[in-house]
Amino acid sequence: MIMNRQLGMADYTGMLRRQKMVDHDPYRDCARLGPACFYAIPAKYTSTSAVLVEGHNHSKACPIVTADLLQRMVTMEQQILSAGRLKPMI
């Protein structure tokens, strides 16, 4: 036991070494070292992206139905008002 002398660096490191052996908790160590590692280790991965936006080109689109709109309406009206369709409803 040390009574009448001043403590030096070797004494303090010895105290820390003995304390570390006695009071070792991995959860607490991770909680202490985790944030330090987070700030000390530089970011290795960065991502970049590029998006190409092109205007809509309508000249390539061709209509599916080539018949005149008025002719199609007349044909649909004839089919709807035909006797075969109206008799079951009457």
Residue 24 lies in a domain: yes
Residue 2 lies in a domain: no
Residue 51 lies in a domain: no
Structural domain boundaries enclosing 83: 65-89
CB burial class (10 A; 0-12, 13-18, 19+) of residue 22?
Answer: exposed
Residue 82 lies in a domain: yes
Top-ranked range on mean pLDDT: pick from 7-16, 22-31, 72-81: 72-81
> Using one digit for the tens of pLDDT, what is the confidence trace for 33-80?
888 888 888 877 778 888 888 776 666 666 676 668 888 888 888 888
Q: What is the DSSP string of 26-41?
A: HHHHHHHHHHHHHHHS
Q: Count how many domains the chain has.
A: 2
Q: What's the DSSP call for residue 41?
A: S
C-beta of residue 37 within 8 angstroms of C-beta of residue 30: no
**pTM across the whole model:** 0.27
Give the pLDDT band (50/70/90) at residue 21.
low
pLDDT at 18: 77
Strand residues in the chain grouped as ranges (E): none
pLDDT at 27: 80
Q: How many residues does the chain have?
A: 90
Residue 60 lies in a domain: no
